[in-house]
Amino acid sequence: MSGMSKIVKTITSISIPFILIYGLYVIAHGHLTPGGGFQGGAIFASGLVMVLVAYGSVWTMEKIKEKNLTMLESLGAFCFILIAFLGLVFGTVFFNNYLVGSNSIFGTVPAAGSGLADINTAGVIPLMNFAVGLKVIAGLFAIVLVMAYAISKKEEK
């Protein structure tokens, strides 16, 4: 797939930061608002797919190697399990939420009653959302990238 017109490329360049930041926002607020690692990761990955469509798969493949994406994907899954194992090490059982009430990162217990959401809560859940988000971003984008690249190779023949 070759790139599209200059207008499309320019608009893509302008709008891409907003899409990516929105994706990251959905991941980071997974424990407070609807969404989470998977949903935010899908938004982020679709932003990357927009770049892929606008600039063409050959150009994108030069910038981002599929092998690195696979590594990132494995890393995301690995972090998720590692956090679950840390629950066993620092807490008592596998998947234990050992950060809640520890007053460290994400460690505050939210105040009772209605009020503004506090992002610094929920213990390991946001960390697991980050891990899932990383996996989904890398995984989804790798799938689309490889498929688009394969189609462009076919068109050349």
Partner 1 sequence: MNALEFFVVNSPIFAVAIPLLGAFLTPIFGMINDKLRNVFAIFIMIITTGIVFALSYDVVTNGIRTYIFGAQDLSLPVVRILFEVDAMSCFMAIISVILAVVALIYSWAFMKENTGLDKYYTLLLLMTTGMLGMELTGDMFNFFVFLEITSISSAALVAFWINRGKSVEAGFKYIVISTIGALFVLFSIALFYGQYNALNMAIIANSIQFTFLDKIALVLLIGALAMKAGIVPLHMWLPDAYSKAPSSVTLVLVAATQASLYGLLRLCFTIYGNMITLSPVSIGWLLVLFGIVTILLGVIMAIAQTDLKRLIAFAAVGEIGYMILGIGTGLVTMSPSISAAGLTALKGGIFHIMNDALDIGLMFLVAGAIFYATRETSLDRLGGLARNMKYTTAFFIIGLLAVSGLPPMNGFASKLLIYESTYQLNPILAIIAILASILLLAIFVKVLHSAFLGPALPRFNEVKEVPKSMLFAMAIIAGIIIVFGVFPDIIITNIVEPAANALVNNAGYISKILSLTGGA
Nearest residue (CB) to partner 1, 88 versus 119: 88
With beta carbons less than 8 A apart as the criterion, state whether 61 and 54 touch: no
- Calculate the alpha carbon distances from 37 to 8, 17, 22, 98, 103 in Å: 29, 19, 12, 20, 23
Among the residue ranges 3-11, 28-36, 80-88, 103-111, the one whose residues contact partner 1 (CB under 8 A): 80-88
**Which residues 6+ apart lie within 8 Å of 150 measured at CB?**
none
The footprint of partner 1 on residues 34-73 (CB under 8 A) is 70-71
The piece of 30-38, 46-54, 74-82, 148-156 that touches partner 1 (CB under 8 A) is: 74-82
Positions that interact with partner 1 (CB under 8 A): 70-71, 74-75, 77-78, 81-82, 84-85, 87-88, 92-97
